[in-house]
Structure formats: C-alpha cells, structure tokens
Amino acid sequence: MSDNLNPSSHNPSGAADAPDAAISDHVTPDPIVTHNAAIEEPQTLMSNSDDSGFEPKAAEGSNSGDADDKPPHLEAKSAAEPAPNVAEKSASKPKEPEPENFWVEMRNILVLSIALAFGIRHFVAEARYIPSESMLPTLEINDRLIIEKMSYRFRQPTRGDVVVFRPTDTIKAENPTFNDALIKRIVGLPGEIIEVKEGQVFVDGEPIVETYIEEEPAYMWGPQEIPEESYLVLGDNRNNSYDSHFWGFVPKDNLIGRAAVRVWPPNRLGPLDKQPAFYFEVESEEGVPAPVAE
C-alpha cells in the first residue's frame, strides 16, 4: 500500500525509502483519531438539541487533533450562541425607558400650564380688581373678585347680578381709545320699560327698593324700553357712575361674566349679595308700602 501512495518509491538510486512522518500523517489518517471523531460528532450534535443539558464525556485516547477535525462553521456557531438560560433572562427583562431630558420636561410642563391657565381664564373664571368708586358701597377700590363665566351658558342674567362686560359700541364711539372692561349691576331686563325719577328706579311703572345703593339717584332718565338680548346696568354709586343712563344698554354678547366671590380683602371675603338686594313695593291693607321680593 505504501508503494502505491508514496511517490518516493520510484527513487532511481535504488536506496531504501525512509518513512516520511509529515507526508504519512497527511495522507494516512490516524485510525484511532478517525474512529473517535466518527463517534464523538453525533454525540456533540445530540447534546446541542438535548434540553436536559447533558453533555457526554469525550472518548479517552483522543489526541489534540480532535478540535482540528471539527468543521469551522460549527465552532463559530457554538461560540456565538449564548447559553439558553442567558437568552431567556434577556428576553424576559423589560427595557428600562431612558430618562427624559430635564429641559424637555420643563418645556412640556410650561406649555401645559399655559394651556390650562388660558382655558380656565377664557371659559371658566378669571380674577378682576376694582379701580374706581362707581360700585360703592358694595365694592371698594382694590377689591379682588372672581368672575365666573359658566352660569350664563345655562341661564339668563337676572336683575341684581353684578356683571363685567366689554365696552359697547356707543362707549367706543365716544371714547375710541377706551378698551377696559366695566363692572355694573343689572337693573333692567329685556322688554321692560325703565324709568328713573323721584330718587327711585321704576320697572314697568312699579318702583323697586334697592338696598345696595350709596345714595338715591339725583337724576331723571327714561322711560325707555330695553331691547331684546340687552340689559340696563347702573352703578351702585348712582351719582358717581358712568353707566347706562349715559350711554344706553349692554348687549348680552358683551357680557364677560358674573362677579361671584370677593377674595380680597380677607375681612370682607365671601359671595356678593348674600340677601336679596332689591324688592318691589306694594301697598298693604293699611296703605303702607310693603316689600315683595321679585
């Protein structure tokens, strides 16, 4: 057999052939290594698919050539794949969210705060202060009020309400630069005929007693019928108030809201007009005027 495989057997000098270890190892594989490799390779593949984790012990007598006989692609795959328990832990562990940037979070809070403040002020309520004496004695200078804006979405304004409103067209025509909101009390309702005389307000010919005014009005006005969707408003300080007896009626669309609560000063904190602010007079059997609430 060695004569057929060894090319040095045709040496012309006739000298005896010396065995070449390097060529012999390359051409003729070691029968022991071949035998062990044939047995170990199926066991290795079986251990990779076995869920029990059992790994058979390598056969004794194998030399260092075992690792060289294993295909390279299997070695690379075995080195790259993590152990089964490590893979399961990685899959079950939730990914922690990255912390949000501080400035981004502050920006979001600021935008949300502005949006909420604008929404509340525009649709629900807002704070106002009193700059003049036109509503004495009910409201004094620098009183702070909460103006609520929700109730007139569900009901009509009523006599006695203290309201804040935008300037009417007549006011703007007389004072083009005047844009401040005003605060007055509703005295006349749509469709009523109002007249001011003899120090009293008459509604459809009937006088009303007003408990909130600073002093009786020293002027005469009317009679005039109030248009639909409009109101006659007067200041409680009747003789020192720029109100409807100067410039006319307030359209409902100009109303901003109703003065509901005084929040400053602390010694006068609370809702406005806890008791009925006015009533109509009727004569009793003895001929003396008797109050009747509206």
Give the mean pLDDT of 34-61: 46
pLDDT score recorded for residue 26: 44
pLDDT single digits (tens) 164-211: 999 999 999 999 998 899 999 999 999 999 999 999 999 999 999 998
pLDDT score recorded for residue 22: 40
**Residue 177 to residues 171, 174, 192, 225, 243, Cα–Cα distance (Å):** 10, 9, 32, 29, 18
| Separation of first and last alpha carbons in the chain | 133
Average pLDDT score, the chain: 74
**Which of 23-37, 102-116, 195-209 tops mean pLDDT?**
195-209
The beta-strand segments (E) located in the chain are 125-129, 144-148, 162-165, 182-188, 193-197, 200-203, 206-210, 221-225, 230-234, 250-251, 255-264, 270-271, 278-283, 289-292
CB 254 within 8 A of CB 168: yes
Pairing relation of β-strands 289-292 and 193-197? Answer: unpaired
Q: Look at residue 74 and tell me whether its pLDDT is greater than 90.
A: no
Which one is catalytic: 62, 134, 241, 244?
134
235 vs 45, residue with greater confidence? 235
Give the mean pLDDT of 258-283: 78
Q: Is 77 a catalytic residue?
A: no
pLDDT single digits (tens) 230-257: 999 999 999 999 999 999 999 999 999 9
Residue found under tokens 């007079």: 281
pLDDT score recorded for residue 256: 95
Which one is catalytic: 62, 149, 184, 244?
184
Q: Look at residue 38 and tell me whether its pLDDT is greater than 80.
A: no
Per mean pLDDT, which range of 99-113, 128-142, 237-251 is the poorest? Answer: 99-113
Q: Look at residue 6 and tell me whether its pLDDT is greater than 70.
A: no
Name the band, by pLDDT with cuts 50, 70 and 90, for residue 25.
Answer: very low
280 vs 14, residue with greater confidence? 280
Give the mean pLDDT of 10-38: 44
Q: Look at residue 126 and tell me whether its pLDDT is greater than 70.
A: yes
CB 185 within 8 A of CB 161: yes
Q: Is 274 a catalytic residue?
A: no
What's the predicted TM-score (pTM) here?
A: 0.60
pLDDT single digits (tens) 154-164: 999 999 999 99
- In the chain the domains, ranked by start, together with CATH numbers, are 20-91 (no CATH), 126-292 (2.10.109.10)
pLDDT single digits (tens) 211-232: 889 999 999 999 999 999 999 9
21 vs 85, residue with greater confidence? 85
